[in-house]
């Protein structure tokens, strides 16, 4: 499973390397710097994403052990030293499989999900152990060409190093039991160079030999340092607050003397715009415009958009529960002649998923002359998966997406916002829309749903909260669509376009 919460946190003046360092380095190198050196009081609460990831990992571990009938000796421990001692005892005794063992060397510590005994000479006798990890996702980065996930390979390599210290033999292979309960072998020699390079980069960060600073990106929203890093970025007016402007581009701009969003925005009125390595003139124009929008605090429609005139507009949003992989709510705000009503097709239990699906399509079958709006491709992808699970009227299904507009695509292609995130929550906020919940989110709703299905009568209010949240997502889309329409009309009236 994910090593984020599991590997023991070292408490030593010389940082001891754990698998968490590798995992976090691949997410964001600055995160390992903050985890190690920043004041823990500055950390945010665990995000809903992190909570779900953890719960999903735990559920998958239990399910995998049961599904595959894996019998393993579990290491029980209260202190790391005690657990490492017990693991070594079980290894020496030749246990076939060891669950949640603890391994250590002078500079590293780790807890592989499973250790599997194989034949071969080692300090333990005529056997040694290889690491086996339980992952809820796929073992492949790209299954079509057989590319394995680098982060899993690096984690297994890390455990191989620890095993070498404990048993005197470094395993050359490791395995992952993935979300589909497939055991996928990793040849660790193939990843040796990447592994060594990443260890040395981590070493440089932990040894403070390399400069580390935040780089605001899509990952920050799910990171426990989000407030700290975003606060820093705002304070120094950091360039990575600009959407799609990453650390490499920031370095290029800094190299050319542009260090802040204000300085970049000032290029909009400059007659002498310099060039920056690795940033094309067109890209630079976009960044300058985005910087100016950030400074103005107001969104900008770059070119007009058009929407069809229909009798019924549907603003559609689904809610899913990622642990069980079920879609539990199809929400629609229907707008006819300016009047709105909300319909939520809700599965009161995971077993009711099919019932909610059928009711939703029954409702759609009664509509004509409609156009559907959604935000992001997620709805389309999920509904396509569901249509395979529960066949529905093919014509109706195709019609639903033919008569649709992904508002996120419109936003992404034709607008600029004074925000790093273009999520519907952020975008609608700039248009004055307010959600009832202070921090709304699909993952939060999924956690409410899990609590609701566990005890529907005690948690009936959570169902209401989910429906309210879903309705508000649909209403936020209405606010956005109306703004796009209004601004488009304004541009047409004025006959002016923002130049690309």
For the CB of residue 31, give the shortest distance to ligand SF4 in the complex, in Å.
Answer: 4
Alpha-carbon distance values, 223 to 16, 43, 154, 226 (Å): 22, 9, 21, 6
| 442-454 helix and 460-494 helix, angle to the nearest 10 degrees | 160
| 80-93 helix and 150-167 helix, angle to the nearest 10 degrees | 80
Give the span between the Cα atoms of 87 and 103, in whole angstroms.
7
Residue choice 17, 90, 124, 229 for contact with ligand SF4 (CB under 6 A): 229
Task: Work out whether 226 is an interface residue with ligand SF4 (CB under 6 A).
Answer: yes
Q: Which is nearer to ligand SF4, 172 or 246 (CB)?
A: 246
Q: Which is nearer to ligand SF4, 247 or 350 (CB)?
A: 247
Residue choice 110, 131, 214, 442 for contact with ligand SF4 (CB under 6 A): 214
Q: Which is nearer to ligand SF4, 4 or 403 (CB)?
A: 4
For the CB of residue 445, give the shortest distance to ligand SF4 in the complex, in Å.
Answer: 23
- Is residue 418 classed as helix, strand or coil in its secondary structure? coil
For the CB of residue 216, give the shortest distance to ligand SF4 in the complex, in Å.
Answer: 6
Site for ligand SF4 in 7-66 (CB under 6 A): 28, 30-31, 34
Q: Kindly state the tokens that stand for 391.
A: 């066949």
Q: 383 — phi, psi (to 5°)?
A: -65, -35
Residue choice 223, 239, 252, 478 for contact with ligand SF4 (CB under 6 A): 223
For the CB of residue 215, give the shortest distance to ligand SF4 in the complex, in Å.
Answer: 5
Sequence-ordered list of residues with C-beta below 8 angstroms from that of 283, at least 6 positions apart, any chain:
none
Q: What is the DSSP letter of 223?
A: S
* Contact by Cβ (8 Å): 279, 253: yes
Query: Would you state the torsion angle of the CA atoms of residues 56, 58, 62, 67, taken in this order, to the nearest 10 degrees?
Result: 30
* Contact by Cβ (8 Å): 245, 287: yes
Residue choice 142, 183, 219, 246 for contact with ligand SF4 (CB under 6 A): 219
Q: Which is nearer to ligand SF4, 31 or 465 (CB)?
A: 31
For the CB of residue 19, give the shortest distance to ligand SF4 in the complex, in Å.
Answer: 18
Q: Which is nearer to ligand SF4, 192 or 228 (CB)?
A: 228
Nearest to 98 by CA among 83, 109, 80: 83
Alpha-carbon distance values, 55 to 23, 125, 439 (Å): 17, 38, 21
Query: Would you state the torsion angle of the CA atoms of residues 473, 56, 219, 176, taken in this order, to the nearest 10 degrees?
Result: -140
Task: Work out whether 215 is an interface residue with ligand SF4 (CB under 6 A).
Answer: yes
In whole angstroms, how large is the CA radius of gyration of the chain?
A: 26
How many positions of this chain bind ligand SF4 (CB under 6 A)? Answer: 12
Q: Which is nearer to ligand SF4, 247 or 304 (CB)?
A: 247
Q: 308 — phi, psi (to 5°)?
A: -70, 150
For the CB of residue 132, give the shortest distance to ligand SF4 in the complex, in Å.
Answer: 29
Q: Which is nearer to ligand SF4, 30 or 471 (CB)?
A: 30
Task: Work out whether 206 is an interface residue with ligand SF4 (CB under 6 A).
Answer: no
Task: Work out whether 162 is an interface residue with ligand SF4 (CB under 6 A).
Answer: no
Q: Which is nearer to ligand SF4, 25 or 452 (CB)?
A: 25
Stretch binding ligand SF4 (CB under 6 A), from 103-111, 220-228, 367-375, 416-424: 220-228
Cβ burial of 373 (10 Å; 0-12, 13-18, 19+) is buried
For the CB of residue 197, give the shortest distance to ligand SF4 in the complex, in Å.
Answer: 20
Stretch binding ligand SF4 (CB under 6 A), from 114-122, 130-138, 225-233, 461-469: 225-233
Q: Which is nearer to ligand SF4, 210 or 219 (CB)?
A: 219
Q: Which is nearer to ligand SF4, 103 or 202 (CB)?
A: 202
Which residues make up the interface to ligand SF4 (CB under 6 A)? 28, 30-31, 34, 214-215, 219-220, 223, 225-226, 229
């Amino acid at each position: 499973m994910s090593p984020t919460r599991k590997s023991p946190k070292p408490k030593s003046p010389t940082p001891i390397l754990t698998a968490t360092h590798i995992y976090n380095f691949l997410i964001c190198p600055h995160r390992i710097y903050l985890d190690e050196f920043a004041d823990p009081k500055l950390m945010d609460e665990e995000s809903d994403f992190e909570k779900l990831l953890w719960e999903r990992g735990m559920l998958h571990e239990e399910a995998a052990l049961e599904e595959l009938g894996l019998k393993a000796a579990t290491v029980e421990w209260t202190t790391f030293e005690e657990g490492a001692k017990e693991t070594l005892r079980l290894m020496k005794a030749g246990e076939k499989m060891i669950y949640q063992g603890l391994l250590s060397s002078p500079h590293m510590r780790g807890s592989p999900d499973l250790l599997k005994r194989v034949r071969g000479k080692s300090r333990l006798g005529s056997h040694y152990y290889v690491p086996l990890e339980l992952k809820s996702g796929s073992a492949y980065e790209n299954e079509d060409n057989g590319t394995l996930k680098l982060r899993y390979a690096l984690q297994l390599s890390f455990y191989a190093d620890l095993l070498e210290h404990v048993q005197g033999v470094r395993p050359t292979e490791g395995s992952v039991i993935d979300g589909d309960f497939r055991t996928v072998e990793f040849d660790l020699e193939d990843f040796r160079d990447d592994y060594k390079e990443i260890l040395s980069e981590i070493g440089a960060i932990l040894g403070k030999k390399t400069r580390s600073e935040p780089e605001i990106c899509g990952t920050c929203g799910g990171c426990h340092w989000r407030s700290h890093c975003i606060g820093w970025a705002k304070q120094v007016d950091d360039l990575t607050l600009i959407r799609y402007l990453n650390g490499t581009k920031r370095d290029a701009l800094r190299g050319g003397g542009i260090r802040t969003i204000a300085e970049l925005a000032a290029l909009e009125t400059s007659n002498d715009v310099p060039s920056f390595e690795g940033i094309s003139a067109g890209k630079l124009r976009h960044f300058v415009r985005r910087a100016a929008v950030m400074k103005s605090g107001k969104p900008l429609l770059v070119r007009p958009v058009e929407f069809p005139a229909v009798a019924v507009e549907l603003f559609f949003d689904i809610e899913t529960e990622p642990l069980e992989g079920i879609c539990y709510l199809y929400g629609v705000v229907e707008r006819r002649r300016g009047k709105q009503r909300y319909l939520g097709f809700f599965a009161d239990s995971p077993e009711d998923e099919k019932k909610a699906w059928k009711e939703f399509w029954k409702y759609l079958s009664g509509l004509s002359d409609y156009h559907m709006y959604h935000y992001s491709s997620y709805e389309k992808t999920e509904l396509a998966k569901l249509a395979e699970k529960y066949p529905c009227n093919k014509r109706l299904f195709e019609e639903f997406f033919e008569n649709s507009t992904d508002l996120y695509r419109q936003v992404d292609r034709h607008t600029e916002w004074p925000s790093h995130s273009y999520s519907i929550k952020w975008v609608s906020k700039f248009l004055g829309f307010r959600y009832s919940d202070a921090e709304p989110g699909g993952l939060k709703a999924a956690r409410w749903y899990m609590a609701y299905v566990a005890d529907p009568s005690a948690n009936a209010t959570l169902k209401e909260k989910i429906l309210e949240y879903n309705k508000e997502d649909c209403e936020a889309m209405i606010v956005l669509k109306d703004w796009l329409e209004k601004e488009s009309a304004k541009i047409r009236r004025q006959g002016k376009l923002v130049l690309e």
